Amino acid sequence: MPPASAVRTFTWEEIRASTKGASAKQPRVSTKEVVRSSAPRYIVIHRKVYDVSGDFVAWHPGGEVALTQLGEDASGAFDAFHTEAATEILANYYVGDLDPSEPTKHNAFVDDLSALRARLENEGQFCSSKAFFFRKFVEVCLISALAWTLLYRGQGSVLSMLAFGVLTGLFWQQTGWLSHDVLHHQLWTSRRLNHLTGTFLGNVLQGLSIGWWGHKHSNHHSTPNVHLSDPDIDTMPFLAWSEMALELFNDVREPTAAAFMVSHQPILYFPLLGLARMSWAYQSIIWQFAKGRIDGDTSAAGIFRFPTATVLELAGLILHWTWNIVGVWYCVGWVRTLPVLFFSQIIGGILLAVVFSLNHNGMKILTREESQITNHYELAVVTGRNVHGSALSTWFTGGLNYQIEHHMFPTLPRHRLSGIAEEVHSLCKKHHVPYHSTGLFSGLAEVVNRLARISQEARRRMATNIKTE
């Protein structure tokens, strides 16, 4: 590192200029541009400036998700995702300091939450209880075993097929929470072991690609409910979650179909949830052959640079579909195979998507500019909805009912989240950050109300023929 006097200092203007290539409609510079152009690309972490241009993305174990923070203060996102080892590697990309006169997202709220993180680390709370995760694994195995036993013994009766569909949907939901935990590196300290366990839980048991999911989910964690950045609210032309999303009408391929969907979205919402799992399964397969191209980038994310990862993923997906199709056929015959599989996919879709929806939908949606001045912890609070209540709601939602705490500390094992919720809540109160916790059904009502409000606005705009750009 150069001596203090020789350290280059940067203004935000210079740092933001390094996002050249981004536009209001496409706020992220494409990975291809970052990799191929020789222009420096800066991010700021704890007032130090790092250049992540060139081969950074190809090397980075988190892949192109780092680019969601280009030109920004990425301190919170960096702290949330990384271990001590990554902090040591930072020096390789260091190019200077943020000018002392420039502001950052750092404030007293960040100080208090960083202190909480440090205390949790010292207490060893980031280490998981293996007994908890083993119990969870046994639970999902029992659900699946019951489903298959009923289907086999039922000899094609409608009741046994319905029971199989419901139990298999539940199995996929609960396995989904398990793979989510593992892929957030909550289970093992070895990242490779987490990826391997995740491939088994995600690809083999669930039929969903962990690479596809990891890419989407890391982007979501980095920019939750940020318009045009968070893939989880990028649901046009089917659902619009904000007035801002209505401005995307001009970009969709079938504006008339989109207008129909959005103006009926509160009614279409639940049927659409039923289709969610089939859509994810389809995208999981496509992803294997066109990694990254789904989002318009032709280069693959860093986690795919090992061909073995792709081979394992493909093998997992093939195993999943073979086991399910042949198994159902063996129990109920060809004619009933498709309806049984279809029904279980619908139930699985609803059970998973309803929880995802509860986590953030209907909460505040920020513009890119607003997110640039909102620190990572505050972003977690204002965009996240906790669902309080019983042990049953924690079981059903896989601990994601502590959504705010999960976003603050994604690597904290799920069984520790309830233990810190009260403290996080009181810190939010102390710093006047609005913390929202509600019941499962009132949360769902909030989601539907938001859809209804946006739908009404869409109809108003259509009726008055206001052109939205």
The footprint of ligand HEM on residues 367-406 (CB under 6 A) is: none
The footprint of ligand HEM on residues 92-131 (CB under 6 A) is: 93
Q: Six-digit token pair at 450?
A: 């938001």
Q: How far apart are CA 163 and CA 319, in angstroms?
A: 23
Q: Confirm or reject binding of residue 65 to ligand HEM (CB under 6 A).
A: yes
Q: Confirm or reject binding of residue 77 to ligand HEM (CB under 6 A).
A: yes
Q: Please, what is the minimum distance in Å from the beta carbon of residue 273 to ligand HEM?
A: 27
Closest CA to 83 of 415, 411, 303: 411
Binding range to ligand HEM, per CB under 6 A, among 12-20, 89-97, 150-158, 261-269: 89-97
The one among 16, 46, 82, 264 contacting ligand HEM by CB under 6 A: 82
Q: Confirm or reject binding of residue 180 to ligand HEM (CB under 6 A).
A: no
The one among 22, 29, 57, 74 contacting ligand HEM by CB under 6 A: 74
Q: Please, what is the minimum distance in Å from the beta carbon of residue 208 to ligand HEM?
A: 15
Q: Please, what is the minimum distance in Å from the beta carbon of residue 192 to ligand HEM?
A: 9
* Residue closest to ligand HEM, measured at CB: 62
Q: Please, what is the minimum distance in Å from the beta carbon of residue 72 to ligand HEM?
A: 9
Q: Please, what is the minimum distance in Å from the beta carbon of residue 82 to ligand HEM?
A: 4
Q: Six-digit token pair at 363?
A: 């909460």
Q: How far apart are CA 338 and CA 139, in angstroms?
A: 27
Toward ligand HEM, which CB reaches closer, 139 or 295? 295
Toward ligand HEM, which CB reaches closer, 87 or 250? 87
Q: Confirm or reject binding of residue 61 to ligand HEM (CB under 6 A).
A: yes
Q: Confirm or reject binding of residue 58 to ligand HEM (CB under 6 A).
A: no
Toward ligand HEM, which CB reaches closer, 104 or 324? 104
Give how many residues touch ligand HEM by CB under 6 A.
25
The one among 31, 42, 44, 62 contacting ligand HEM by CB under 6 A: 62
Toward ligand HEM, which CB reaches closer, 48 or 277? 48
Q: Confirm or reject binding of residue 409 to ligand HEM (CB under 6 A).
A: no
The one among 7, 90, 278, 448 contacting ligand HEM by CB under 6 A: 90
Q: Please, what is the minimum distance in Å from the beta carbon of residue 184 to ligand HEM?
A: 8
Query: In this structure, are residues 394 and 418 in contact, taking their beta carbons and an 8 Å threshold?
Result: yes
Q: Confirm or reject binding of residue 314 to ligand HEM (CB under 6 A).
A: no
Q: Confirm or reject binding of residue 89 to ligand HEM (CB under 6 A).
A: yes
Binding range to ligand HEM, per CB under 6 A, among 67-75, 254-262, 431-439, 443-451: 67-75
Query: Measured between alpha carbons, how far is residue 334 from residues 161, 320, 326, 330, 331 in Å?
Result: 13, 18, 9, 8, 9
Binding mask of the shown chain, residues 196 to 235, with x at each position contacting ligand HEM by CB under 6 A: ------------------x---x---x-------------
Q: Confirm or reject binding of residue 78 to ligand HEM (CB under 6 A).
A: yes
Q: Site residues (CB under 6 A) for ligand HEM? A: 43, 50, 52, 60-62, 65-66, 68-69, 74, 77-78, 81-83, 85-86, 89-90, 93, 191, 214, 218, 222
